[in-house]
Structure 1
């Protein structure tokens, strides 16, 4: 079987820039949970406000109950990011080998949608976390990265 040489195109620099920007997005997600935690009064290492805590606060202090709810939303948005981030980043790095500009643009849009998702999820005026739907386009971007990554593999085998 002949060896295959992978030449990284110059445009792969875009891929690396976008990949690097996601490190800051990840940090932003982690840091933004802190103020929600503080307003809710949820101590570390407790991961979420429990339903019992929310119910007790609802009758005594509705504003604190709302703060607990929004803390849970912020935590969930961060958790959802962490669940999809590794595969999205891998998709970007792999797809970028063959489609560097398209992969970088798609991943940049993914980052925008991830930001909208997190901000929307924590909107006090959108009950049930429905604000996150404005950022749900990240799924389309993520799927596109997966397809491009797979297609890059197929293209390599077809050469």
Structure 2
């Protein structure tokens, strides 16, 4: 029997949270580009070497901005999946957690780029808790859909 999927009226909030994560990627782009220019490292060099970073604070700052951006890219896709699935049954809660994740990831980006690894801690904690909650909600939503298919 086919599954008919209706999105809740509040699902638009979920889409706003999802779309706003694209803006955080732009924040990362600008932070990395600014740090690259200041460091003098040319494309296609992805990171300063350990020796360069040890000698030059601007090269170290570039590495921090690049690593923050890489971490964001690693985490955005799983976040989006969890958000979009969880939002099918819990749209307002998912949107709220999505907004918290996006805000925390922006703080993570700026903190890491400006203060190094210690500057990312606050954003990391909030985004990790939000992400964990979204993944739990997504799993439960998926189980509910699977159980309904056999009802």
Q: Is TM more than 0.5 here?
A: yes
| TM-fit CA distance, 1:4 | 2.5
Residue of 122, 130, 143 corresponding to 1:141: 130
Aligned to 1:36: 35
Aligned to 2:8: 9
Structure with higher Rg: it is: 1
Aligned to 1:86: 77
Pair 1:108 & 2:105 matched: no
Question: How many angstroms apart in 2 are the aligned matches of 1:46 and 1:138?
Answer: 29
Structure 2 length-normalised TM? 0.91
Structure 1: 5+ residue runs without aligned partners? 59-64
Question: How many angstroms apart in 2 are the aligned matches of 1:132 and 1:23?
Answer: 19
Which structure exhibits the higher relative contact order, with contacts defined as CA atoms closer than 8 Å and separated by 6 or more residues? 2
1:83-135 per-residue CA deviation (whole Å, 9 max, x = no partner) reads 000000111111111111111100100011101111111234x5xx1111011
Structure 2: 5+ residue runs without aligned partners? none
Aligned to 2:25: 26
SS, match of residue 73 in structure 1: helix
Question: How many angstroms apart in 2 are the aligned matches of 1:73 and 1:98?
Answer: 38
SS, match of residue 9 in structure 1: coil
Residue of 63, 68, 77 corresponding to 2:59: 68
| TM-fit CA distance, 1:5 | 1.8
**Runs of 4+ residues over 4 Å off in structure 1:** none
| TM-fit CA distance, 1:142 | 0.9
Note the aligned Cα RMSD (angstroms): 1.3
Residue of 115, 120, 129 corresponding to 1:132: 120
